[in-house]
Copies of this chain bind each other. A is one copy, B any other.
Amino acid sequence: MAIGVGLLGLGTVGAGVAAILMGPEGRHPLVGELALQRIAVRDLERPRSLNLDPQLLTTSPEAVIDDPAVEIVVEVMGGLEPARSLILRAIAAGKPVVTANKAVIARYGEEIAAAAAERGVYVLIEAAVGGGIPIIEPLKQSLGGNRIQRVSGIINGTTNYILSRMADEGAAYGDVLADAQRLGYAEADPAADVEGHDAADKIAILAGLAYGGPVAREAIATEGIDRLQARDVAYAAQLGYVVKLLAVAQREGEAEPLPLDVRVHPTLLPKHHPLAGVHGVNNAILVEGDPVGRVMFYGPGAGAGPTASAVVADILNIAGIRKVTGSQAGAPLDPLLAASSWRRCELVDGSATSHRNYVRLQTRDEAGVIGRIGTCFGEAGVSIQSIVQFEARDAEAGGGAEIVVITHEVRESAFRSALAAIDALEEVRTVAACLRTL
């Protein structure tokens, strides 16, 4: 017997999902057992490329959820509200939910998970992170034997597209952004992408699954690429690095609650790092655990087809487990698929963490400057890997010298105090850029 699916939203992703369900040939046979029962749209009259029975469409998302023929609710409308309320309504009705909505899950994941656990239904979110890349289910179902040490990833396609073009063309951020907007790779309002908020939503979700407990989304240190300068991308390349917007969730000990360092920022990666070769709108997530070592998941981070593939995977998982349990809500849940949290996590204070840094200084072009900078670092206990003076007599460099320092791994607090001392040096005009380095 067919399993009824209701869609909330028929935008890019929703249409992609509908297209798969309407053309099951050559896909897993379970796809052929799914039947699109009802679709909530904003505008009934809008022309659509899909050949849909108009009777399926309604402007009422509540009507989709409440339709007795709808057994799985798929939320692909986006935004915080009414998406959150509709997800909760579906759960309350005992209907499993599939959502691609990273913003809702990152912010209201605990509330939604609690409601789902109480009602005994699944809420699956494969499409919320990494587009078509299977990453949520592998974290839940394939790595449970590991102690996860770090999850790091390129999980925003727009910024990776911009950074790839900045690196390839030596172009300025603003120019590439404008071009990306023209080509549809960036939104008219690009803030969520370029300021790192989208990546922060996603790393919050990944960290919650990898470490087994929710993390406070609003406490994630987030820096975007909107202030990144082309010269830093160029200097990084000369030093053997690629600049990527990295989202990282790293375990900082064994205590209870588990201390985690979770952050989003432009980062210098060594050219041979597995994430350094991820170009354009692709995404990749690297998971490091004991005893698995390093595994990486790579693929298209956005787009109708890839995201629809992930949404349908979730629908299939719900349909598959229904074969075991029947359709009754409230049956026992598979703890891996349900991914209930099992540990408390706590974000650590960033100043207590350690990492490598890239610093660009604009200085007077005179002898002894490098020595004095080195001394400041040394007095603060900051060990330096390299210090290089670049030829930079253009106006942007202020007509002086540009000095780039890459440190070894040092405590953030020590690094900041060294930087304050350097900034106070008479020969140093400004600390022009400061980036994390792997």
A residues with CB within 8 A of B: 16, 19-20, 26-31, 126, 132-134, 137-138, 141-147, 212, 254, 274, 277, 289-300, 303-306, 308-313, 315-317, 320-321, 323-325, 331-337, 342
Contact of A147 with B292 at beta-carbon distance under 8 Å, contacts A142-B137, A277-B277 already known: no
Q: Which of B147, B274, B299, B334 contacts A295 (CB 8 A)?
A: B299
Contact of A298 with B298 at beta-carbon distance under 8 Å, contacts A145-B313, A309-B291 already known: yes
Residue of B nearest to A17 (CB): B145
**In the bound complex, how far is the Cα of B319 from the Cα of A335, in angstroms?**
9
Q: Is there an interface contact between B306 and A291, defined as CB atoms closer than 8 Å?
A: yes
**In the bound complex, how far is the Cα of B92 from the Cα of A65, in angstroms?**
44
**In the bound complex, how far is the Cα of B59 from the Cα of A238, in angstroms?**
60
19 contacts between A and B (CB under 8 A): A19-B291, A20-B145, A29-B335, A126-B142, A132-B292, A132-B295, A134-B138, A141-B316, A143-B309, A291-B308, A292-B305, A292-B306, A292-B310, A294-B299, A296-B297, A296-B299, A297-B298, A324-B333, A324-B334
Residue of B nearest to A298 (CB): B296
* Chain B residues whose CB sits within 8 angstroms of the CB of A324 once the complex forms: 321, 324-325, 331-334
* Chain B residues whose CB sits within 8 angstroms of the CB of A316 once the complex forms: 141, 144-145, 336
Residue of B nearest to A316 (CB): B144
Residue of B nearest to A138 (CB): B134
Contact of A293 with B337 at beta-carbon distance under 8 Å, contacts A26-B254, A29-B342, A30-B144 already known: no
* Chain B residues whose CB sits within 8 angstroms of the CB of A334 once the complex forms: 320-321, 323-324
**In the bound complex, how far is the Cα of B135 from the Cα of A141, in angstroms?**
12
Copies in the complex: 2
Q: Is there an interface contact between B27 and A312, defined as CB atoms closer than 8 Å?
A: no
Q: Is there an interface contact between B300 and A28, defined as CB atoms closer than 8 Å?
A: no
* Chain B residues whose CB sits within 8 angstroms of the CB of A31 once the complex forms: 144-145
Q: Is there an interface contact between B137 and A28, defined as CB atoms closer than 8 Å?
A: no
Q: Is there an interface contact between A309 and B289, defined as CB atoms closer than 8 Å?
A: yes
Distance between A303 CB and nearest chain B CB, rounded to angstroms: 7
Report the 8 A-B pairs with minimum CB-CB distance, sorted nearest first: A291-B305, A145-B312, A28-B144, A295-B299, A134-B142, A292-B309, A320-B336, A134-B138
Q: Is there an interface contact between A300 and B293, defined as CB atoms closer than 8 Å?
A: yes
**In the bound complex, how far is the Cα of B26 from the Cα of A292, in angstroms?**
14
* Chain B residues whose CB sits within 8 angstroms of the CB of A325 once the complex forms: 324-325
* Chain B residues whose CB sits within 8 angstroms of the CB of A134 once the complex forms: 134, 138, 141-143, 295
Q: Is there an interface contact between B145 and A27, defined as CB atoms closer than 8 Å?
A: yes
Residue of B nearest to A336 (CB): B320
* Chain B residues whose CB sits within 8 angstroms of the CB of A29 once the complex forms: 212, 335, 342
Contact of A335 with B313 at beta-carbon distance under 8 Å, contacts A31-B145, A137-B138 already known: no
Distance between A245 CB and nearest chain B CB, rounded to angstroms: 20
Distance between A342 CB and nearest chain B CB, rounded to angstroms: 5
Distance between A260 CB and nearest chain B CB, rounded to angstroms: 13
* Chain B residues whose CB sits within 8 angstroms of the CB of A309 once the complex forms: 143, 145-146, 289, 291-292
Distance between A168 CB and nearest chain B CB, rounded to angstroms: 12
